């Protein structure tokens, strides 16, 4: 149950697009289309942003989108805004009732 | 409104025990699988455990297997995490989270409860 690998930090200017990668293995990310993404502001609970790889829950801005290729999932934030500054985590189902989170990425809006 | 409220956290000595609770409201608790996720201070999210609808099936992360026990009381709309043989590395905010029917993601989270393992 090793954590999925994410870049420690990603930054961008307002209005730009950024992409956060999430690399796992053929036992988790590569084997299931069940990656979800969470946004977490300081001292707050995580918030679901993307599920099943690319689906957005009701109420989440369409500036957030998800995709997957092989063992790597990605979260793209377009039209970056100040309120997008937060930590982001991916999570994948890993079979047999187990789940694994990513290492987390700090997004900074310059 | 869906609400998950954790309680039971606090300071405990290494080797000690603690039981966390998560009170659910605003939805039919018995119809949802539930999970515990933890976050050490300044660190990332780590999945801990999950339980099915009636408590007959559970799963655990390797780091807590044999020491932690997840359970639920559907009559009381409450999820539990019994933590035994606690270690310093178990220090974290513990969140309960709901998984929607047929889903494999966490759509609602509690606010978390802090567990500190220290002498």
Q: What is the pLDDT of residues B45-60, one digit of tens each?
A: 999 999 999 999 999 9
Cα separation of B97 and A104, whole Å?
Answer: 18
Instruction: Tell whether B106 lies on the interface with A, counting CB pairs under 8 A.
Output: yes
Edge-first strand order for the sheet with B68-73 is B3-7, B18-25, B78-83, B68-73
pLDDT at A1: 78
Looking at the partner chain, which of B59, B63, B103 has a beta carbon nearest the beta carbon of A97?
B59
pLDDT band, very low/low/confident/very high, at A93 (cuts 50, 70, 90): very high
Residues of chain B with pLDDT under 50: none
Structure token pair of residue B58:
């559970």
**Looking at chain A from residue 28 to 57, which residues have their Cβ under 8 Å from any Cβ of chain B?**
32, 34, 36, 38, 40, 45-48, 51-52, 57
Interface test with A, best of B41, B47, B70, B112 (most A CBs within 10 A): B47
Is residue A29 scored above 90 in pLDDT? yes
Cα separation of B99 and B85, whole Å?
Answer: 28
Instruction: Tell whether B22 lies on the interface with A, counting CB pairs under 8 A.
Output: no
The residue of chain A nearest to residue B50, with distances taken between CA atoms, is: A97
Strands of chain A (E only): list them. 9-12, 18-23, 35-40, 47-50, 64-69, 72-77, 86-93, 99-101, 105-109
CB pairs under 8 A between A and B: 66
List, for residues A48-88, the tens digit of each pLDDT value.
999 999 999 999 999 999 999 999 999 999 999 999 999 99
Cα separation of B57 and B45, whole Å?
Answer: 23
**B17/chain A closest Cα distance in angstroms:** 24
């Amino acid at each position: 149950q090793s954590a999925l690998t994410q870049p420690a930090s990603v930054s961008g200017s307002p209005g730009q697009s950024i992409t956060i990668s999430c690399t796992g293995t053929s036992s988790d990310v590569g084997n299931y289309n069940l990656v979800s993404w969470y946004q977490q502001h300081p001292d707050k609970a995580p918030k679901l942003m993307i599920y099943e790889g690319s689906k957005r829950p009701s109420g989440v801005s369409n500036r957030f989108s998800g995709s997957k290729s092989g063992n790597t999932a990605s979260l793209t934030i377009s039209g970056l805004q100040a309120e997008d500054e937060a930590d982001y985590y991916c999570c994948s189902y890993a079979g047999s009732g187990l789940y694994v989170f990513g290492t987390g990425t700090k997004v900074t809006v310059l | 409104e869906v609400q998950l409220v954790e309680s039971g956290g606090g300071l405990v000595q290494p080797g000690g025990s603690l039981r966390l609770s998560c009170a659910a409201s605003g939805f039919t608790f018995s119809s949802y699988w539930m999970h515990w996720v933890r976050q050490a201070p300044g660190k990332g999210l780590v999945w801990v455990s999950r339980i099915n609808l009636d408590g007959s099936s559970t799963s655990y992360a390797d780091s807590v297997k044999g020491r932690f026990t997840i359970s639920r009381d559907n009559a009381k709309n409450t999820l539990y995490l019994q933590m035994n043989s606690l270690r310093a590395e178990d220090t974290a905010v513990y969140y309960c989270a709901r998984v929607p029917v047929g889903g494999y993601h966490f759509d609602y989270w509690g606010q978390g409860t802090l567990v500190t393992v220290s002498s």
